[in-house]
Amino acid sequence: MMGVFNSKVSSFNEAVRAQDAEAISDIGMELLRIGFDECVKPNVGTSLKETYRKQCLSAASYLAKNSRTPATPVRSSGAANEGTDPYYVPQQWFSDEVPDLGFKDIIGVQEVKDAFMVDVVAPLRPEFREIYRKFRGEQLGTQILLYGPPGTGKTHIVKCLAGALNCKIAVVQTSEVLASVVGVAEKNIRDIFAQAAELNRCIIFFDEIDSICSDRDSEDSRHTKSILTTLLTCMDGFMKTKREGQLRIIVAATNLPWKLDAALKRGGRFETQIYVPLPDGNAVRKFVGMQLDKLPHDENVTVDALAAKLEGYSGADIKAVMKQIANRPLEREVKNVLNKQIGRPMGERVTMQDCDEVIKKFINGVTPEMLLRFEAYNRGMPYEDLLSLLKKPKN
């Protein structure tokens, strides 16, 4: 439904640009109807509901203002609108608390932890300062792009980094910012950097950064282009104005690195790219063990046996599978108590059949095609070339 809603937001923006009063009203009302419907659905997540709510508030505020006075054309970007823009809903981007997490909370991905150690943590330690000065000169700050299959912990890792460095963090869902009506996305981006500039240590994290890089000829490309330009300008300014002793880190994450606009990867921006892969065998065992150890289970349900079935799953998916597995004896136990009216548990346990049935139904969020695309990207070759290389008959 988000897709339909976003396309309504785009049409609404178009109508506002064109000052087509009839379309503004028709599309605006339709947009509100969809948004409000989604806000009360039990299966829609809190953060999505928040996006719908904000969009609806913005549109409603515009419609209300419009019905009293003739509409004022809305600019697609620029500071001139600030303060009077009827779409604008101010937001606090940074969490009040530093996440209570550290590197110890990251399972596996040792190479990612090492990369953060070399790029971010070590330069802050006095004993390394001379080495960094010698090889890198004065550092302006750090901008890192994390890429990899969904659910491999990219967001989690950045939160752990914030905890380890005692930094406040702004987690920005780029697609939500993008879904804003014209001009508001740019204003939100400027706000994020303005709020960050007030802090001595901070991390700005742009999740799904690929959503800001739409196809050039798509309907939304003008809108996204303007947002991308604002983002790049803010990033450059933010890093250049860093003062001695301040820690400014910008991290972006994507599942689709090949979609990113080249301007984002250019020198001085997200030059450091770190691949976050699927968990290896040891990490899968750790994910499984962490959950299984807490559950009553049959003797043949071992960490090794379950881990063997979950190779190729992301950390997020393994957690979800284990939760579903735990639910099965739980359901039986509750039914036992209800049906037999005995009022005490019957000692239900996780069986291998529970595990097999859950895993059989669970759709792995990471497909072989995705992995192949990452392989091609890591080798710096087009996906099609890798495919044809694999198809070539061996001599």
CB of 316 to ligand ADP, least distance (A): 3
Near ligand ADP by CB under 6 A: residue from 11, 55, 142, 152: 152
Closest to 206 measured CA to CA, from 241, 177, 247: 177
Q: What is the DSSP string of 61-74?
A: HHHHHHHHSPPPPP
Per CB under 6 A, does 352 bind ligand ADP? no
CA pair distance 320, 219, nearest whole angstrom: 36
The answer to whether residues 143 and 236 touch, using CB atoms and an 8 Å cutoff, is: no
Residue length of the chain: 395
- Segment interacting with ligand ADP (CB under 6 A) among 51-59, 145-153, 181-189, 215-223: 145-153
Among 108, 163, 257, 329, binds ligand ADP (CB under 6 A): 108
Residue 330 CB, nearest distance to ligand ADP (Å)? 20
Inter-residue contact 79 to 233 (CB < 8 Å): no
User: Among 28, 35, 151, 163, which residue interacts with ligand ADP (rule: CB under 6 A)?
Assistant: 151
Q: Is residue 163 within the footprint of ligand ADP (CB under 6 A)?
A: no
Note whether 140 and 119 are within 8 A (CB): no
Interface with ligand ADP in residues 318-347 (CB under 6 A): 319
370 in contact with ligand ADP (CB under 6 A): no
Contacts of 274 (CB under 8 A, 6+ apart): 112, 115, 116, 144, 145, 146, 147
- Which of residues 8, 156, 168, 328 is near ligand ADP by CB under 6 A? 156
Contact with ligand ADP (CB under 6 A): which of 315, 326, 328, 350? 315
Residue number, 67 or 95, with CB nearest to ligand ADP: 95
CB atoms within 10 A of CB 316: 18
Nearer to ligand ADP, 86 or 148 (CB): 148
Residue 78 three-state SS: coil
285 binds ligand ADP (CB under 6 A): no
| Residues within the interface to ligand ADP (CB under 6 A) | 106-109, 150-156, 253, 315-316, 319
